[in-house]
Amino acid sequence: MNRPGKNEIVRIKIENLAFGGKGFGKLNGYVIFVEGGLPGDIADVRLYRTKANFAEGRIENLIEPSNHRVAPPCEHFEYCGGCRWQNLEYSIQKKYKEDQLREALIHIGNIPNPPVEPIIGAHKIYYYRNKMEFSFHAGENNKTLLGLHKAGRFQDVFQLAKCHLQSECSNDIVNFVRDRSIELGLPPYHIRKHEGYLRFLVIREGKFTGQMLVNIVTGAGEYEDIKKLGREIGRKFENVISVSHTVNSQKANVAKGEKELVLYGADHICERLGEKEFRISANSFFQTNSYQTKRLYDLVVEFAEPDKLDRMIDLYTGTGTIAIYLASLVKYVEGIDSVPESIEDAKINARLNNAADCDFIVADVEEFLKQVVNEGNRYDLMIIDPPRAGCHPRALKSILLIRPRKIVYISCNPATLARDIAELSQGGYRLDKSIPIDLFPHTYHIEAVCRLTLNE
């Protein structure tokens, strides 16, 4: 077969969606991944990368649009790097996420007929995020830009008119901070030159409490008016109970830094999930969709079937939210994480919720589990919520030696989830439940909860 070359235009029908969000079709059996392609599209596609087994391209001309295409409400959709499936019917988004979990468990997990239950979709598909990071940038003639990054172009920021992901109040704050920072003469940071002052505006919301936190991230420098800006934000927006100033003097383009000051109000906000309340500071971790996180944690409880005599361990505990959510339902909980700041937040959250039987430990998960094996300790229930890379092979080896009766595995990556489940299945566990849950509508990201039970 003569495969097409780079920059060649080919006409194909998009058959499906690949993990990562791209559509794909075939040309005489040759797979082509298409940015922005949706199932059912017939399009002329210009190829920008060709390999032996596949090519990648962009739509040059949409000949016949998919029946599942819808008009995206966001005016920035064509160039924003955010919600790339906003032009796809939400019911179809859910279907493909559910299918991708099932396919991963079949082809990577080696489970011929995986027990995948229907996806739990989101009740709110817009204005659902409780955290957004907006970037400052010095545009042409040093014009202050405050918005989001263009797709695939991290050093390019567009001027935001309105984002449909967080809240209307969040949009108002962005516009106020942009205009007021210009009036106060606070210079924006130039991403490529690494010059300037204002770098990020981070807005956090307690969706169930209504409380808001604003964090202004700057480079090094002494600008007294940053304090004035912070106070004005707090006084203008009644839901804002905390305004912080974080200093990041390094070139790393991240919304964290080496120094944090409170400019207005408290040093944190609170979010409520069910009967539990959690403290959120400017740089602490919390799942970014409170509505679906509540449903996720309820699902974890359902899968875990906790018993008052259970000894539970929560691996990759983060700020301890899952451990605390289940604490009153088991005998005791140990939460393990390698990030000291996360464990400090977990301890504060435990005191806030009177979770006396929670013990949070700063440790590398692999090393901690190795120690558990050496000491002969046992757990009845294990919760695993690892990063996208999944569990380290050494951690899986120790888990199979510890042999908890039940494992609830939470994952944001179907491929590594399926890989780890294959390993656990070979070691004596069976997968008896799995449900995808949509935490991020209009994106390809998938969250899934699985339960594995030890074969007797």
- Residues with catalytic annotation? 412
Distance from chain centroid for Cα 270: 19
DSSP code string of 48-65 = EEE-SSEEEEEEEEEEE-
The Cα 366–Cα 224 span in angstroms is 47
Q: What is the DSSP string of 154-223?
A: EEEEEE-S--SSS-HHHHHHHHHHHHHHHHHT-PBPBTTTTBSSEEEEEEEE-TTT--EEEEEEE-S---
In sequence order, which ranges of 24-148 are alpha helices (DSSP H)?
90-107
C-alpha closest to that of 75 among 170, 147, 125: 147
Q: What is the side-by-side order of every strand in the sheet holding 30-35? A: 9-13, 42-50, 54-64, 30-35, 23-27, 16-17
Backbone torsion region of residue 313, taken as left when φ is above 0, otherwise alpha when ψ lies between -120 and 50, otherwise beta: beta
Task: For residue 429, give both structure tokens.
Answer: 């566990």
- The region, left, alpha or beta by phi > 0 then psi within -120 to 50, assigned to residue 390 is left
Output phi, psi for 123, to 5 deg.
-70, -35
For the four alpha carbons of 447, 367, 282 and 183, in that order, the dihedral sign comes to: negative
* DSSP H or E run through 357: none
Phi, psi of 22 (to 5 degrees): -80, 150
